């Protein structure tokens, strides 16, 4: 398996609280991504990073922020969690941003907002 670990793996939090999910990689991949997985929607891109301190928005970025202070770590923060953010969150990495590049995924984090 690729050296991509997500923490925590499971979390239950209350509406209105901030939450941070962490993605750590040992592959030295330049690109990192956060997706959310929801029934009927597949995976949708939240934010991505193309280098240290270089990030950009994805399709469903509202209510989320990210930071990447070093190559290995990509943090996803829910600034004020809402029930609509209950989902499974996947981190992915890729060595390049090329059209044919393979993405490598973490195990996922199941987040429940109550």
Partner 1 sequence: AQRVTQPEKLLSVFKGAPVELKCNYSYSGSPELFWYVQYSRQRLQLLLRHISRESIKGFTADLNKGETSFHLKKPFAQEEDSAMYYCALSGSSNTGKLIFGQGTTLQVKP
* Contacts to partner 1 by CB under 8 A: 1-2, 31, 33, 35, 40-45, 48, 50, 56, 58, 90, 92, 94, 96-108
Shortest Å distance, C-beta 15 to partner 1: 27
Nearer to partner 1, 13 or 88 (CB): 88
Sign of CA dihedral 98, 29, 8, 13: negative
Q: How far apart are CA 95 and CA 9, in angstroms?
A: 24
Q: Are strands 73-78 and 19-25 parallel, antiparallel or unpaired?
A: antiparallel
Shortest Å distance, C-beta 94 to partner 1: 4
CA distances from 102 to 8, 16, 77 (A): 25, 36, 25
Shortest Å distance, C-beta 26 to partner 1: 15
């Amino acid at each position: 398996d690729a050296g991509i670990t997500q923490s925590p793996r499971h979390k239950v939090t209350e509406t209105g609280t901030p939450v941070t999910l962490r993605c750590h990689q040992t592959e030295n991949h330049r690109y990192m991504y956060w997706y959310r997985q929801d029934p009927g929607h597949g995976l949708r891109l939240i934010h991505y990073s193309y280098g240290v301190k270089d990030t950009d928005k994805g399709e469903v970025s509202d209510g989320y922020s990210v930071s990447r202070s070093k190559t290995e770590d990509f943090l996803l923060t829910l600034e004020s969690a809402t029930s609509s953010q209950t989902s499974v969150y996947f981190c992915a990495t890729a060595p390049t941003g090329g059209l044919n590049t393979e993405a490598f995924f973490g195990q996922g984090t199941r987040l429940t907002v109550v």
